[in-house]
Amino acid sequence: MENRHPKRVEDYTLANLILIFVNLMWIFTAVWSTWGLGPVLILAAILNHLITRLDLHKRRKAPGFDKTEQI
């Protein structure tokens, strides 16, 4: 049995970000056409808040985080 090292994997980050953008756009368009611009703005604000909280949570879990330091 041969012991082969795995080859380097392609980076699909950009493709995934583009797909997320496209999906958000059609969902926002569907919500806008159904209920108007208000719910789209509220949904965008909620998503922004959740992404910010996720970032803060990941920073706190990262090694080297000083609990006395303010973010």
pTM: 0.71
Residue 54 lies in a domain: yes
Which domain, by its residues, includes 40?
36-63
Q: Which pLDDT score, from 0 to 100, does residue 37 have?
A: 97
Q: Are 24 and 16 in contact (CB under 8 A)?
A: no
Looking at the 3D structure of the chain, how many domains does it have? 1
Query: ∠ CA 64-49-66 to the nearest 5 degrees?
Result: 15
Residue 21 lies in a domain: no
Residue 66 has pLDDT above 90, yes or no: no
Residue 22 lies in a domain: no
Distance CA 42, CA 30 (A): 14
Per-residue pLDDT reduced to its tens digit, 11-64: 999 999 999 999 999 999 999 999 999 999 999 999 999 999 999 999 999 888
Q: How many CB atoms lie within 10 A of CB 57?
A: 10
Residue 50 lies in a domain: yes
Distance CA 27, CA 21 (A): 10
Residue 6 lies in a domain: no
